[in-house]
């Protein structure tokens, strides 16, 4: 269970989202990333104009072939001539009606990310469980269940490929670093978190920790942050950097800088890559892990869930 704030570009689109209780993402790689990164059962709010709107739980996820036909969003045409539709949909169950300013201290985790990143350049932002706990007490509860009209939707299953020849958005997307980060976030939380805590000699139950995507720092952003859900007295943290291909000295130097910058409660970092260059040196507070997907082939396509089931991590 995670909590996300979905960035909405215009007030008109926000009104469509809140009226229909549906979130829509574009046919771009970033749109697909948001669609797969957020799971059924997760909690979401909308983010627009430095305000947070409403609280929902994700009821269902659907990718549709005919987004222009059923609306409610018009395709986006860029100056380059490229056109994006909105095939990726989240059906939402409304829980609370609210309109709250981002300057409230309860939103400090997300507000800091926004400030350091220079604004709304992402489709969505993951907040921590403390933020969800606070939002759950804002506004007023919604008691009526919303019935979505989806009879005209024609669904399809989007996939991922490792071959350039098979790329065919929005049906088939290439593997990108943001998709790998999302896969690793969930894989660590489900299967590898206890081993990580043991490696860094952190006492505690893995269920009391959360793995969050992209934490902004003054000098950049770390790909994953592991921290206690509800810290009591101490808040040990682990930073994780992800590279789609190989990693070398500069990547190690970057992670070392992030660890130093993030404060004394950061106990160390993990660099997860496909392979390591020969000139990379060991560091006492950094662990090297490699990832793989087992018996996959470049001539095939895979659903996000198939790759999540295949992903493997090994300490180097």
Q: Are residues 152 and 24 in the same domain?
A: yes
Distance CA 216, CA 220 (A): 6
The domain tally of the chain equals 2
Taking all residues of the chain, what is their mean pLDDT, rounded to a whole number? 92
DSSP 8-state code for residue 255: H
Q: Are residues 13 and 64 in the same domain?
A: yes
Range of the domain at 19: 3-156
**Tens-digit pLDDT profile for residues 197-243:** 999 999 889 999 999 998 888 888 899 999 999 988 889 999 999 99
The predicted model scores a pTM of: 0.94
Do the domain assignments include residue 111? Answer: yes
Domain final residue pick, 124, 156, 188:
156
pLDDT score at 217: 85
Q: Are residues 15 and 147 in the same domain?
A: yes
Residues 135 and 219 sit within 8 Å (Cβ to Cβ): no
Domain final residue pick, 122, 156, 190:
156
Q: Are residues 187 and 152 in the same domain?
A: no
Do the domain assignments include residue 164? Answer: no
Higher per-residue pLDDT: 219 or 285 = 285
Q: Are residues 14 and 152 in the same domain?
A: yes
Q: Are residues 119 and 193 in the same domain?
A: no
End-to-end CA separation in angstroms for the chain = 30
Do the domain assignments include residue 172? Answer: no
By C-alpha distance, which of 103, 98, 95, 87 is closest to 29?
A: 87
Q: For the domain that residue 7 is a member of, what is the CATH number?
A: 3.10.590.10
pLDDT score at 276: 83
Q: Are residues 138 and 10 in the same domain?
A: yes
Q: Are residues 253 and 203 in the same domain?
A: yes
Q: Are residues 43 and 115 in the same domain?
A: yes
pLDDT score at 119: 55
Q: Are residues 219 and 105 in the same domain?
A: no
pLDDT score at 225: 96
**Tens-digit pLDDT profile for residues 80-92:** 889 999 999 999 9
Do the domain assignments include residue 168? Answer: no
Q: Are residues 123 and 182 in the same domain?
A: no
Do the domain assignments include residue 300? Answer: yes
**Tens-digit pLDDT profile for residues 290-299:** 999 988 888 8
Distance CA 98, CA 116 (A): 26
Q: Are residues 123 and 219 in the same domain?
A: no
- Is the per-residue pLDDT at 58 higher than 90? yes
Do the domain assignments include residue 49? Answer: yes
pLDDT score at 117: 64
Domain final residue pick, 123, 156, 189:
156
Q: For the domain that residue 292 is a member of, what is the CATH number?
A: 3.40.1350
Task: Look at strands 159-161 and 301-302 and give their pairing.
Answer: antiparallel
- Is the per-residue pLDDT at 120 higher than 60? no
Do the domain assignments include residue 163? Answer: no
Distance CA 150, CA 145 (A): 16
Do the domain assignments include residue 242? Answer: yes
**Tens-digit pLDDT profile for residues 66-78:** 999 998 999 988 8
């Amino acid at each position: 269970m995670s909590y996300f704030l979905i960035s909405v570009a215009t007030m008109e689109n926000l009104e469509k989202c809140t009226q229909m209780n549906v979130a829509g993402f574009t046919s771009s790689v970033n749109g697909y990333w948001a669609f797969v990164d957020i799971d059924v059962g997760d909690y979401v709010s909308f983010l627009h104009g430095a305000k947070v709107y409403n609280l929902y739980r994700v009821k269902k996820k659907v990718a549709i072939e005919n987004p222009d036909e059923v609306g409610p969003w018009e395709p986006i045409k860029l100056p380059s001539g490229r056109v994006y539709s909105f095939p990726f949909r989240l059906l939402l169950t409304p829980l609370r009606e609210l309109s709250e300013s981002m300057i409230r201290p309860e939103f400090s985790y997300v507000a800091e990310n926004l400030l350091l990143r220079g604004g709304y350049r992402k489709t969505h932002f993951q907040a921590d469980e403390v933020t969800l706990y606070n939002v759950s007490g804002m506004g007023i509860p919604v008691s009526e269940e919303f019935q979505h009209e989806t009879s005209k939707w024609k669904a399809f299953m989007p996939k991922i490929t490792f071959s350039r020849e098979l790329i065919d958005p929005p049906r088939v997307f290439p593997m990108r670093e943001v998709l790998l980060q999302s896969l690793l976030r969930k894989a660590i939380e489900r299967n590898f978190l206890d081993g990580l805590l043991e490696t860094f000699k952190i006492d505690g139950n893995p269920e009391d920790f959360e793995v969050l995507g992209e934490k902004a720092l003054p000098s950049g952003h770390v790909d994953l942050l592991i921290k206690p859900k509800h810290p009591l007295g101490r808040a040990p943290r682990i930073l994780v950097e992800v590279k789609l291909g190989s990693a070398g000295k500069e990547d190690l130097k970057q992670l070392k800088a992030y660890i130093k910058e993030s404060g004394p409660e950061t106990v160390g970092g993990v660099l997860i890559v496909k392979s390591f260059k020969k000139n990379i040196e060991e560091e006492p507070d950094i662990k090297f892990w490699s990832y793989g997907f087992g018996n996959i082939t470049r001539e095939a396509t895979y659903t996000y869930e198939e790759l999540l089931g295949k992903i493997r991590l090994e300490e180097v």
